[in-house]
A and B are shown apart, each in its own frame.
Chain A
Amino acid sequence: MEKVYLCKATDLEANQVKKIENNTFGDIAVYNLGGQFYATADLCTHATASLAEGDIEDDMIVCPVHWGMFHIPSGEAQGFPCETDLQTYPVEVVGDEVFAVIEVDENIIAKA
């Protein structure tokens, strides 16, 4: 298990998403949904696209390329052409710092 620093809580406004580059696990998208922080893989599971460039609609992230959707808290693929769920990471907020808690898994590293 590894704790990856994402950003300062105060740097991410409500209902915003930000891409955090990470060469080990793949880029991570961090979300602030009304004060609650979430983290998922940033790469869309359908085609090459950074989800952080997409729009948040309620608790969904809409991929900017083909407008498929994922449920941010669970990572569930919700709309064509997205069919494979998105990797999600538990989030820990320590003071003003937001971390993703990543299980070191060979599969995730290979995917990145």
Chain B
Amino acid sequence: MSNLIKTIDTTDCLEGIESVCDIEGGRISGEIFYDQKIYEQELEKVFARCWLFVGHESQIKKTGDYITTTMGEDEVIVIRQKSGGVKVLLNACPHRGNKVCFSESGSTRGFICNYHGWSFNVEGNLIGQHESGIYEDSNFDKSKWGLKEVAKVDSYKGLIFATFDPDSPTLEEYLGPMTWYLDSLFDNQEGGTEFVGGCIRSTYECNWKIAAENFVGDILHAGWTHDSAARAMLGGSVAKVSDFDESYSVNWNGHGYEFALDTVGNVAVLGDSQLNKYLHTIKPSVAERLGEFRSNMIGSVSSCTIFPNFSFLAGQNTVRIWQPRGPNKIELFTWVVVNKSAPQDIKDRWRKGAMMTFSPTGVFEMDDGENWEYCTKTAKGKVTAKQDLFIGLGMDTYLEDTDLPANVYKGQLNEANSRAFYQRWQDLLQAKSWAEVPNRNKGKAEVEK
């Protein structure tokens, strides 16, 4: 008997989604940040369907090591198996639905529900209950009532993803050639990466898309929004992005990475010269491993979102999920990622640097929070919500003639990735199944392994 979650029957698509999201016209509507009906559709057609980031391999090393997180608003337990694999289980007892695990992380023999003493092992199998005799008298079949498992779990270079949808593409297909770019942070040294310290959690009163879209392709805000923070950390303003000779926005399936090739523009804002030095030290070996081009990305001015809500900044090394908590609230989970092979002192410096800049009290994070909350809250006004919002920068910047993988656009001061993000969002909301989701990619799908 399989404990896999039954496929969710998708409800009909909302009508009028094209009117709130006109990608070719370069406009969206504020309504998408505040509307409850749209949000309900997102939980079902985006979060219950896409591959979602659930944790890093380094967080669960031994059998029984687990972390708890959410996939959309569904609470899950990510747990290392005896076999070495990972299971993702619903954090809800199949008797009355009570939550079975209340801690963020740990190592355990299993989970016992507080309500009636149903006990589950690390595989999620139900192994007993308080007053077990009465279940035996009722011919109760334990094998049918384990913790439910998500449809699929897979990982890429230490990053564990899961999906509730058995019909989803494979993780490899889902990420596509974005993996070529992901490697610049997650596989630039032998041994790969690990998370250091715990999970930093905070809440914002903003819509999840505002945050995800900021990381998918909005470096434009940095020079203005973060000017004072940059002056505090660097003693000067952030790099003037329009001065870079070469920069790109690349996207695929709604994922996006915008980057310059300046090696240390991002890491510099942590204000710790030892970290710049570390990146310069490893750069030749990165070039050997990944080529010259990607060795220039390791700490460059950049940001990335893997659709829908997993984002990171190479250089600051902050990795995050924007967890949806209603149309106008998110819970932000962040971690600090480092190369496993880096010296301990460098790992510590990264943890401190990320806390100074991109934690709830970090100087950069606070700048963003205020903006994102008001981008959301203004849409509470019924008239304001109908206002067109401009998203049309860089309409004619697609690069036909490039060897780079994915859909490639010239320049990182560009709203191409943001448009691709909202296009994917719209496509998913308008599709009843994965088969109906159009393929909008036009760039190179293959990457050199």
Show the binding face of B for A, using Cβ within 8 Å.
109, 112, 117, 119, 121, 127-133, 136
The interface size bin for chain A is 10 to 19
Q: Nearest Cβ distance between residue A27 and chain B, in whole angstroms?
A: 16
CB-nearest residue of chain A to B129 = A47
Q: Nearest Cβ distance between residue B99 and chain A, in whole angstroms?
A: 18
For residue A64, CB closer than 8 A to chain B, the reply is yes
Are A64's CB and B127's CB within 8 A?
A: yes
Are A66's CB and B131's CB within 8 A?
A: no
CB-nearest residue of chain B to A47 = B132
- Give me 28 A-to-B residue pairs in the complex whose CB atoms sit less than 8 angstroms apart, sorted by A's number: A47-B128, A47-B129, A47-B130, A47-B131, A47-B132, A47-B133, A48-B132, A48-B133, A48-B136, A49-B127, A49-B128, A49-B132, A55-B109, A62-B109, A64-B109, A64-B121, A65-B119, A65-B127, A65-B128, A65-B132, A66-B117, A66-B119, A66-B128, A66-B130, A67-B109, A67-B112, A81-B117, A81-B130
CA distance A48 to B119 in the complex (A): 12
Q: Nearest Cβ distance between residue B164 and chain A, in whole angstroms?
A: 29
A-B contacts besides A48-B133, A64-B121, 18 pairs, CB < 8 Å: A47-B117, A47-B128, A47-B129, A47-B130, A47-B132, A48-B128, A48-B132, A49-B127, A49-B132, A62-B109, A64-B109, A64-B127, A65-B119, A66-B117, A66-B119, A66-B128, A66-B130, A67-B112
CB-nearest residue of chain A to B135 = A48
Q: Nearest Cβ distance between residue A46 and chain B, in whole angstroms?
A: 8
CA distance A64 to B123 in the complex (A): 13
CA distance A50 to B109 in the complex (A): 15
Chain A hits for B132, CB < 8 A: 47-49, 65
Interface string of A21-54 (1 = CB under 8 A from B): 0000000000000000000000000111100000
Q: Nearest Cβ distance between residue B180 and chain A, in whole angstroms?
A: 45
Chain B hits for A66, CB < 8 A: 112, 117, 119, 128, 130
Chain A hits for B117, CB < 8 A: 47, 66, 81
Q: Nearest Cβ distance between residue A58 and chain B, in whole angstroms?
A: 16
CB-nearest residue of chain A to B127 = A65
Among all A-B residue pairs, the 6 with the closest Cβ atoms:
A65-B128, A47-B132, A48-B132, A65-B119, A49-B128, A65-B127
A46, A47, A62 — most chain B CB neighbours (10 Å): A47
B-facing residues in A79-107 (Cβ within 8 Å): 81
CB-nearest residue of chain A to B136 = A48
Q: Nearest Cβ distance between residue B102 and chain A, in whole angstroms?
A: 16
CB-nearest residue of chain B to A81 = B130
Chain B hits for A49, CB < 8 A: 127-128, 132
CB-nearest residue of chain A to B119 = A65
CA distance A65 to B142 in the complex (A): 13
Chain A hits for B127, CB < 8 A: 49, 64-65
Chain A hits for B109, CB < 8 A: 55, 62, 64, 67
CA distance A66 to B132 in the complex (A): 11
Q: Nearest Cβ distance between residue A64 and chain B, in whole angstroms?
A: 7
